């Protein structure tokens, strides 16, 4: 199983309608492409984890990278892991309100993941919280 993790910055004036569209179209495409994962958003950042066939994940990330609804896209990780971690989620999403931390949201979402993948995602969230 191939996975890719990135962070990015939502455009400042992103609307609830645009967010709904990202989730709707993303989920539709991910079902078609055999991709599952997470999209977590706080006031300043997106953190997304995608997993599936390498070709599909990279093709999806290329599309996402060209999307003007966010910028400053930084790939944190890519490569192979043992198994699919989020088999039921074509794109789980979580909006982190106000001062709540990315880490608290990630902790909740990685409960059924393998320990190494869970630790990796938690350490990205933690680093992000520290920088915010
Ligand atoms: C933060 C963010 C996350 C996204 N996640 C996905 C995703 O998981 N899968 C996907 O296909 N598109 C995702 N998109 C949307 C793509 O950038 C692109 O708009 C979409 O794939 C185009 O689909 P279409 O050619 O079917 O219209 C995301 C966009 C943003 C801004």
Averaged pLDDT score across all residues of the chain:
94
User: Which residues does a 6 A CB cutoff place in the pocket of ligand 1?
Assistant: 22, 25-26, 29-30, 39, 46, 48, 50, 60, 63-64, 67, 69-70, 91
39-91 pLDDT, tens per residue? 999 888 999 999 999 999 999 999 999 999 999 999 999 999 999 999 999 88
Q: Is the pLDDT of residue 92 over 80?
A: yes
Determine the structural domain holding residue 18 and report its residue range.
2-99
Please tell me the total count of domains within the chain. Answer: 1
* 6, 25, 27, 35, best to mutate for ligand 1 pocket (most atoms within 8 Å of CB): 25
- CATH number where 37 lies: 3.30.70.100
CA distance 78 to 102: 20
Residue 32 lies in a domain: yes
Residue 127 in this model has a pLDDT that exceeds 80: yes
pLDDT band at 122 (very low <50, low <70, confident <90, very high): very high
* Cα of 115 from ligand 1 centre, angstroms: 28
The confidence score (pLDDT) of residue 42 equals: 87
Q: Are the C-beta atoms of 99 and 31 separated by less than 8 Å?
A: no
- Round to whole Å and give the CA distance between 101 and 43: 10
Residue 31 pLDDT class (50, 70, 90 cuts): very high
Tokens of 39: 């999209």
The answer to the question of residue 13 being in a domain is yes
Ligand 1 pocket test, pick from 4, 67, 74, 90 with the greatest ligand atom count within 8 Å of Cβ, gives: 67
Q: What is the pLDDT of residue 110?
A: 94
Whether residue 113 contacts residue 85, with contact meaning beta carbons closer than 8 Å, is answered with yes
| Mutation choice for ligand 1 from 13, 16, 20, 22, CB with most ligand atoms inside 8 A | 22
Q: Using CA atoms, how far apart are residues 46 and 55, in angstroms rounded to an integer?
A: 23
Flag whether 51 is in a domain: yes
Is there a domain that residue 107 lies in? no
**pLDDT score recorded for residue 58:** 98
How much is the pLDDT for 117? 95
Residue 53, in any domain of the structure: yes
Q: 6: closest CA among 80, 58, 83? A: 58
Task: Give 101's pLDDT tier (boundaries 50, 70, 90).
Answer: confident
* Alpha carbon distance 18, 7 (integer Å): 18
Nearest CA owner, ligand 1 atom 9: 26
- Whether residue 50 lies inside any domain: the answer is yes
Q: In the 8-state DSSP scheme, what is residue 81?
A: -
**CA–CA separation, 42 and 94 (whole Å):** 9
Q: Per-residue pLDDT for 99 more than 80?
A: no
């Amino acid at each position: 199983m191939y996975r890719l993790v990135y962070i990015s910055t939502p455009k400042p004036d992103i609307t609830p309608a645009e967010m709904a569209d990202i989730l709707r179209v993303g989920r539709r495409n991910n079902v078609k492409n055999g991709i599952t994962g997470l999209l977590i958003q706080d006031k300043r950042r997106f953190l997304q984890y995608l997993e599936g066939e390498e070709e599909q994940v990279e093709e999806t990330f290329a599309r996402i990278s060209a999307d003007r609804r966010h910028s400053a896209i930084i790939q944190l990780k890519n490569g192979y892991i043992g198994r699919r971690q989020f088999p039921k989620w074509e794109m789980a999403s979580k909006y982190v309100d106000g001062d709540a931390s990315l880490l608290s949201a990630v902790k909740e979402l990685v409960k059924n993941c393998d320990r190494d993948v869970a630790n990796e995602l938690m350490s990205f969230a933690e680093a992000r919280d520290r920088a915010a």
